[in-house]
Amino acid sequence: MFQYLSQSNDELAKLAAEARKSLVQVRRGDKSIGAGSIWHPNGLIVTNAHVVGRGNITVTLSDRRTLPAQYLAYDSNLDLAALYIEAEEVPSIPLGDSQALSPGDMVIAIGHPWGLANAATFGIVMGVGSDWPEMPASGREWIGVDLVLRPGNSGGPLIDAEGRLVGINTMLLGPDFGMAVPVHTIKRFLKESLGTSKRQASPVLV
């Protein structure tokens, strides 16, 4: 029993360590405001729209380089933003299948809660879809997770049991009730938005 728990603990730690390679810290001015994930090794980064807001944005990579970021796309309704940094062969995160998630599946949220860099939180999926009583009836799809998200987790990756990106951590609805934007929604956002960069007013979220 203890050997199994130790092995599982080691495997979870390895998954988190691998995902941290593609994790970035997003800053507006000199203030750390959230996280992001490197989607493509050519420098494409995804995060929440409420994380980037408006103004000059820089990102700090896992190798501690800090680079200016350019806006590529922004959608306040989906709470998603795409950024670009001039860097080649940066470590990107593998993509999972958010539509294959089921209640009870293990997930890990990674980010910078309260400025604590590269923190990881373990939890399980509560549900996936658009039918959430606590959310406005907008038809938007979410991943509901039983784990704690804090300011600084926003924009960071939610990974599955194989270390693949299944969502972007977005908000906390209760003490252990987090919400993430599914990766299939992010794919659609990038497909529809890239090439027509949009900059809209920023919502006020933590």
Catalytic residues: 50, 79, 154
Is residue 12 within 8 A of residue 134, CB to CB? The reply is no
Nearest Cα neighbor of 177 from 137, 143, 140 is 143
Asked whether the beta carbons of 56 and 180 are under 8 A apart, the reply is no
From first CA to last CA, the distance across the chain in angstroms is 40
Q: How many CB atoms lie within 10 A of CB 117?
A: 15
Nearest to 160 by CA among 101, 98, 100, 107: 107
Residue 159 · residue 124 · CB < 8 Å: no
User: Which tokens is 146 given?
Assistant: 């039983």
C-beta separation of 197 from 153 below 8 A: no
∠ at Cα 84 (75, 37), nearest 5°?
75
8-state DSSP, 98: G
